[in-house]
Amino acid sequence: MWESTFSASRAPIEVSMGTPRRFADWESRDEAQRSAALVHARAAMAGLGRRLGAVVHAMPGGSGQDGPLAGLAYAAKDMIATGLHTPGWGRAVPSSGIGERATVLRRLDAAGATLVAVAEMTELAYEPSGHNSSRGRVLNPWDFDRIVGGSSSGSAALVAAGCCDVALGSDTGGSVRIPAHCCGVTALKPTRGALPLDGVMPLAPSLDTIGLFARSAADLARVWPVLSASPSGSAALPRRAVVLDEALDDSDPAIVRACEAAIDILVTLVIDVVSHPGFPEAADQHALAVMQAEAARSHAALIDDPGTEPVLRRRLAKGLAIDDRALAESLAARVPLCEAFLRGTLVDADIAILPVMPVATPRVAEVTPGDPAFDPKRLYALSRFTRFVNYLGLPALALPAGFDDAGLPVGVQLVGRPGAEAQLLALGRAFQARTDFHGRVPRAVADEITTGWAA
């Protein structure tokens, strides 16, 4: 489908769809606007955030400390210990004690950011659509009849609706990138091990990462050095990229159109973009095996708990059928498969480009077990292009790249080499300097967005 080499002289495609009103990035606000934003965030959590079903707890507190993130309002997924509430893990009955505040939250606090809410999630963070039968689903701010994506559903919806500047989620097989695609926001899934996981509910420990959402890559670039305790500073743009053609071949036409337009823009920002015909299928299959086996072992005590959603109980039980030897074999294959991806797919490139999801954001009924319209293949497809990234332990950035035929957001995914978060964010900033998809006000809640920084 693609030429073997893209021309860097091609002009970017200018596209404009969706609600014309835009949010301003947190980075662009002055001190007074940031102070006002905290007041707005608390009111928005109590109002719009609650109506979207995205807020578990609105957090009390002041305006934070002085620091590089002073005035930044953030939310945390309800599986991260705040030290102030009992994390619910998306369940009707909380599953753990209060616990000490997680390191990732303490780092944000120390930089002056303010926790304003605990965000809703799917039960045990083990569902990609956002379905939660015990606590209710979060509404997609673009279209209430469409899925919001999971499992970090509330975190994505709150950022998309302008209720907070940044939100933390988790990503075991795509749980920040999938809702970022569905909600039209920017999300970073870091390199495995880059962020501490103390105080965070485990799902599949060999795959688990903390991920983060923001309106823009520029805002994520301000937060990342604080969260990762790594030096800030500029990063060079990638010099070479590969497009995973098989992923595009397997995607809906509307997804392909948006990603092709995004690639046309990315071509102008890197020296060379080439095609690669394959897809890391073996890594994806091992990712599924590890996720199922480790999730079952992490939450075996809940399989027979009548308070656990029946479909989830069956999913967990399925993982127990994967014995320790098979799990060990899948884990042992990770290093050679990662080397194969870095040397055989990326070769001398810095990043791989593919869609976040192969399908347009589905209607809720299509991916809800028990509904007459339920399509299990469509549910499976939601994480088809994200799972292998967790297995290989690589960083990935999801960027809003356009809209599908129904006017819903589409995300493109940039997968980097280990430790390349700053480089991915630099490319994301450059891409978003040429597009405005990341700032759009979602149409289903546009009438409720009245803040001065949404013009």
Residue type, 227: L
Distance (Å, whole) CA 291 – CA 180: 21
C-alpha separations of 350 from 230, 241, 410 in Å: 20, 6, 23
Residue 13 lies in a domain: no
Closest CA to 77 of 65, 85, 68: 85
Residue 84 lies in a domain: yes
- DSSP-derived pairing of the beta strands 210-214 and 186-189: antiparallel
Whether 318 sits among the annotated catalytic residues: the reply is no
Radius of gyration of the chain (CA): 20
- The whole-number mean pLDDT for each consecutive block of 10 residues of the chain, a chain of 455 residues, reads 41 41 76 81 94 95 79 96 94 82 97 96 97 95 98 98 96 98 98 98 98 97 95 84 97 97 94 93 98 98 92 96 98 98 97 98 96 96 98 98 97 98 97 95 88 53
Distance (Å, whole) CA 272 – CA 113: 38
Residue 19 lies in a domain: no
Count: domains in the chain: 1
Residue 327: its pLDDT value, please? 98
The tokens of 232 are what? 């800030």
The CATH number given to whatever domain includes residue 280 is 3.90.1300.10
DSSP string, 309-344: -HHHHHHHHHHHTS-HHHHHHHHHTHHHHHHHIIII
Domain that holds residue 190: 26-448
All residues at 6 or more sequence positions from 236 whose CB lies less than 8 Å from its CB, including other chains: 423, 426
Whether 77 sits among the annotated catalytic residues: the reply is yes
Residue 266 lies in a domain: yes
Distance (Å, whole) CA 174 – CA 386: 5
Residue 315 lies in a domain: yes
Whether 151 sits among the annotated catalytic residues: the reply is yes
User: Active site residue: 95, 153, 170, 175, which one?
Assistant: 175
Strands across the sheet with 409-416, in order? 55-58, 114-119, 73-77, 166-170, 210-214, 186-189, 396-403, 409-416, 351-355, 240-244, 272-276
Residue 320 lies in a domain: yes
Residue 195 lies in a domain: yes
The tokens of 425 are what? 């964010």
Residue 3 lies in a domain: no
All residues at 6 or more sequence positions from 106 whose CB lies less than 8 Å from its CB, including other chains: none
Distance (Å, whole) CA 425 – CA 216: 9
**Cα 381 versus chain centre, distance:** 16
- Report DSSP state, residue 294: H
Residue 270: its pLDDT value, please? 86
User: Active site residue: 95, 151, 298, 383, which one?
Assistant: 151
Residue type, 345: T
